Structure formats: structure tokens, C-alpha cells
């Protein structure tokens, strides 16, 4: 009954969702030439042969499955993967990263489309065109009409790297018949942690295991070596602190920490890399007209801040800085609808030591693993960030020792993408 009600709600929502898409397009949140994809209208032809549909919501999930995409295409040279996402930033990231994956790039093997909204008619149109042999959803993409449409066609459906936060768990518990009906339709589920697995089982998932977290298995972030050298030359001789993946409200705290640090570390440069690059202009204005990377500006010696409001350059920044505060983790972020942290393994793989605010629920397992080797510091505000950065800037040997401990933890799950690729390909073999 709950599933039927959701189907009816999705059908009735079609007209207002069309208006929503137009508003999103006007705000620059949809691709102007590909809006039809959100209504299930394909803009690419289906390639011949076997096709796996893999769906990841946004940037974090997309980055986590890049090694899986590489493993899938390496193990089965004839396979094509339809990769859907829901955000422009994730589409841009795939356009940047796919040509560099594998021996010859995956641009011709992995096809990107924007995922249709959860309207039955749009999903039917999408599935009729693509006809995948199996479908894999990533993390927490539990869209009822999508799940029901896939299983109606008797296509195997799995959930990989499943995440069920405490907040989401409370919400789904209010709809026990719907959550159970949806989770029982997955052939199998792999959860990123035992905590997530326990919540999914309690909600009705029949088969859940925990082989590891794909975000712990990602390769190191890429970098343009020539550009890295150019930036290193521009900041040579200066102590540098990075504030990475910051959310609204956190830059002011970082600026306060910078003010406390600059007397102890003359020439200090604080680099701010906001999670949403479109906020760069406002952040730069708030920080006294700081130079912006999006405008191809480099910091001069008189500049105390540099705003790196570009996409796909964290690999450069982590290599450049050596210490980073990870955002979306302070109460100020939660006040603006954020909170939960960001993946600390990305900087750790590059020898960049991290601090974070107290809100890390999205990556608890990763932070706990790093805390076990004293490779992460939890900071509660500007004073604590400043004290941590001061200690790390004053003691390069301690910083290096902790960074190496962090690197060893962050690279332990390197075999997980091959393992998951084998399971997905076996699922398609069973389909025939």
C-alpha cells in the first residue's frame, strides 16, 4: 500500500516537478541542453551488448566509484556502464576524470546521463531506452519509484556502499512498510560500516554485508604537476593552512583562526576551498577582496587569503599545503543546513594532516580509524583550529610522522573495487 501511495504521489507530482526543473535551470542548477534527461529522455544512443546502470547522487559518491568503474571496464572489456548523477558538479567531474582512467581512458565505455526525477512515467521512458542488465545504486539513493520500476522489469538491483545515517534511520522508521518493501527488493546490499548495516537490517533489508567503504579505497586525487610547481613557486617560503570543503558559516571561523595565527607565523597564507565553488565571489569579498583561483589569480605576498573556487583541484591543494582543516564539520555549517564532515582519507592518502570540527557523522568510521593512530584532531572553533595549526607548523617532524600514519590507514582497502566489480559482473552473468 505504501509503495502504491508513493507511485500515485510521483504521478501527481509530474506537473509541479516540470516547474521545479525550469526554476532550477534558471538558477544554473540544471544543464540547459540536457534538461530532458531529468524527464527520462535520453540524449545518447544505447550501445550494443551488456550495460550496467550505476547511479551516484553527487560529487562525493561519484568520486568513490571511479575505481569501481575502472575495475569493471578492466575485467570485462566489452562492458558499457551508464553512469547517472543528479548534479552539474558531478557531471563536470566525470568529464574531467574519465579520460584519465584506465590504460586508454573510459570516455567511450562510461556514458553519463542525468538521473530522471522519481516520476513513474519518466522512469519507464528511461528504462525502455537503456534496458540495463543490472542496476547498482550508491550509498543512500532509495527512490521508491525508481526501485519499483527496476524490479518490475525483473532487473537485478543492488545497493553498494550503503549509508544510513541516524537522521535518515529515524525518518525511514516512520514509514516501516515502505522501507521494508523497498529494501527487500535489493538482490544484495553492501554497507560501508557495520553501524549502517545494522540500521538497514532493522528496516527490513534481508541481505547486507560489510566488505568495506569505497571511499576508503579511492586512488589518490590527481594533479597537474606543472601547475602544482607554478603554485608552489608563488607561495614559496610562506606558512600555508588549507580550509577545504568549507560550507557557509565556516569561513568566518577560519578567518578568526587566521587572525590568531598570523602574529605567530608571519606571512601566513590561508587557502579557502569552498565545497560549492559558486560561493567563491562572496567569500572573497568577505575576506577583503582575496584573489580567486576561478579568475586565474595567484596570491601576492601581501594577500593573507586565497580563494580556490574551482572544481577538481583538491589533489593540488592537499599536496601544496600539508595541513588542512576539513569543513562541513562545525556548528556554523549545521546552522545553514550542513554538518556531517568530509572524507578525511582524501588528504591522508597525499600525506596531508587533517583537523575537523565535531560534526563528522557522514564519515565516522574513517575519522575513528585515523584517531586510532593520532592522525586527526577534532577542533571546536577558531581557537582550537589556530592552536592545532600552530603546533603542526612549528613541528614538521611530528606532522610528517602523523601524516605517514594516516597514509597507511587510508590505503588499506585498495582491493575493494575489484571485489565489488566481480560481484556486479557475476550478477549480470546470472541475468544471462
Give start-end residues of each CATH 3.40.50.11720 domain in the chain.
2-217+414-431
Gap between the Cα atoms of 84 and 133, Å rounded: 15
pLDDT of residue 249: 95
User: In this structure, what DSSP letter does residue 98 have?
Assistant: G
Q: In what order do the strands lie in the sheet with 110-114?
A: 110-114, 80-85, 51-55, 134-138, 157-162, 188-191, 208-209
| Residues with Cβ within 8 Å of residue 93, at least 6 apart in sequence | 59, 62, 63, 311, 312
How far is 158 from 268, CA to CA, in rounded Å?
49
| pLDDT value for 1 | 65
Give me the helices (H) in 267-411, please: 280-286, 314-321, 331-334, 345-348, 364-371, 382-394, 396-410
Q: Identify whether the C-beta of residue 337 lies closer than 8 Å to the C-beta of residue 249.
A: no
CATH superfamily entry for domain 225-410? Glycogen Phosphorylase B; (3.40.50.2000)
CA distance 123 to 11: 11
pLDDT of residue 360: 93
Cell 557557509 belongs to 248
Q: Residue 341 and residue 179: Cα distance in Å, rounded?
A: 26
Catalytic residue set: 61
Q: Where in the sequence of the chain do the CATH 3.40.50.2000 domains occur?
A: 225-410
Look up the CATH number of domain 2-217+414-431. 3.40.50.11720
At 100 the pLDDT is: 79
pLDDT in tens, the chain (432 residues): 667 777 888 889 999 999 999 999 999 999 999 999 999 999 999 999 999 999 998 888 998 899 999 999 999 999 999 999 999 999 998 998 888 777 667 878 999 999 999 999 999 999 999 999 999 999 988 999 999 999 999 999 999 999 998 889 999 999 888 899 899 999 999 998 899 999 999 999 988 999 988 877 877 888 999 999 999 999 999 999 999 999 999 999 999 999 999 999 999 999 999 999 999 999 999 999 999 999 999 999 999 999 999 988 999 999 999 999 999 999 998 888 888 999 999 999 999 999 999 999 888 888 988 988 888 999 989 999 999 999 999 999 999 999 999 998 888 777 899 999 999 999 998 765
Q: Please, are residues 218 and 366 in contact by the beta-carbon 8 Å criterion? A: no
Q: What is the pLDDT of residue 431?
A: 65
Identify the helix (H) or strand (E) that includes residue 161: strand 157-162
d(CA 338, CA 362): 11
Predicted local distance difference test score (pLDDT) of residue 71: 94
Does the pTM of the predicted model rise above 0.75? no
- The DSSP H or E segment spanning 134 is strand 134-138
Amino acid at each position: 500500500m505504501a509503495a502504491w501511495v508513493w507511485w500515485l504521489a510521483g504521478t501527481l507530482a509530474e506537473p509541479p516537478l516540470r516547474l521545479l526543473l525550469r526554476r532550477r535551470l534558471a538558477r544554473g542548477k540544471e544543464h540547459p541542453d540536457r534538461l530532458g534527461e531529468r524527464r527520462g529522455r535520453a540524449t545518447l544512443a544505447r550501445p550494443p551488448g551488456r550495460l550496467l546502470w550505476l547511479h551516484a547522487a553527487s560529487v562525493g559518491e561519484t568520486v568513490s566509484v571511479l575505481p569501481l568503474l575502472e575495475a569493471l571496464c578492466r575485467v570485462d572489456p566489452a562492458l558499457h556502464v551508464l553512469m547517472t548523477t543528479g548534479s552539474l558538479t558531478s557531471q563536470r567531474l566525470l568529464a574531467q576524470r574519465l579520460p584519465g582512467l584506465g590504460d586508454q581512458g573510459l570516455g567511450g565505455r562510461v556514458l553519463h546521463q542525468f538521473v530522471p526525477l522519481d516520476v513513474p512515467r519518466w522512469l519507464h521512458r528511461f528504462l525502455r531506452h537503456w534496458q540495463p542488465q543490472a542496476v547498482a545504486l550508491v550509498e543512500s539513493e532509495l527512490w521508491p519509484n525508481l526501485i519499483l520500476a527496476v524490479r518490475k522489469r525483473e532487473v537485478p538491483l543492488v545497493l553498494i556502499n550503503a549509508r544510513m545515517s541516524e537522521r535518515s534511520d529515524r525518518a525511514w522508521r516512520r514509514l516501516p512498510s515502505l522501507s521494508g518493501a523497498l529494501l527487500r527488493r535489493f538482490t544484495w546490499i553492501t554497507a560501508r560500516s557495520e553501524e549502517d548495516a545494522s540500521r538497514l537490517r532493522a528496516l527490513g533489508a534481508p541481505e547486507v554485508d560489510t566488505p568495506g567503504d569505497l571511499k576508503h579505497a579511492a586512488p589518490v586525487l590527481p594533479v597537474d604537476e606543472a601547475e602544482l610547481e607554478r603554485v608552489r613557486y608563488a607561495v614559496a617560503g610562506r606558512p600555508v593552512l588549507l580550509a577545504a570543503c568549507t560550507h557557509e558559516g565556516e569561513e568566518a571561523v577560519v578567518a578568526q583562526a587566521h587572525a590568531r595565527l598570523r602574529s605567530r607565523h608571519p606571512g601566513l597564507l590561508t587557502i579557502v576551498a569552498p565545497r560549492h565553488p559558486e560561493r567563491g565571489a562572496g567569500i572573497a569579498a568577505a575576506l577583503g577582496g582575496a584573489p580567486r583561483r576561478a579568475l586565474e589569480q595567484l596570491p601576492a605576498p601581501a594577500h593573507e587569503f586565497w580563494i580556490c573556487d574551482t572544481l577538481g583541484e583538491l589533489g593540488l591543494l592537499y599536496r601544496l599545503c600539508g595541513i588542512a582543516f576539513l569543513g562541513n564539520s562545525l556548528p556554523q555549517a549545521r546552522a545553514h543546513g550542513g554538518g556531517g564532515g568530509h572524507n578525511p582519507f582524501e588528504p591522508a592518502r597525499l600525506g596531508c594532516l587533517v583537523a575537523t570540527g565535531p560534526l563528522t557523522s557522514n564519515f565516522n568510521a574513517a575519522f575513528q580509524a585515523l584517531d586510532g593512530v593520532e592522525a586527526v584532531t577534532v577542533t571546536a572553533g577558531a581557537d582550537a583550529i589556530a592552536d592545532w595549526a600552530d603546533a603542526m607548523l612549528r613541528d614538521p617532524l611530528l606532522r610528517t610522522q602523523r601524516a605517514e600514519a594516516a597514509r597507511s590507514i587510508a590505503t588499506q582497502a585498495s582491493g575493494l573495487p575489484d571485489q565489488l566489480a566481480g560481484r556486479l559482473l557475476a550478477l549480470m552473468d546470472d541475468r544471462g
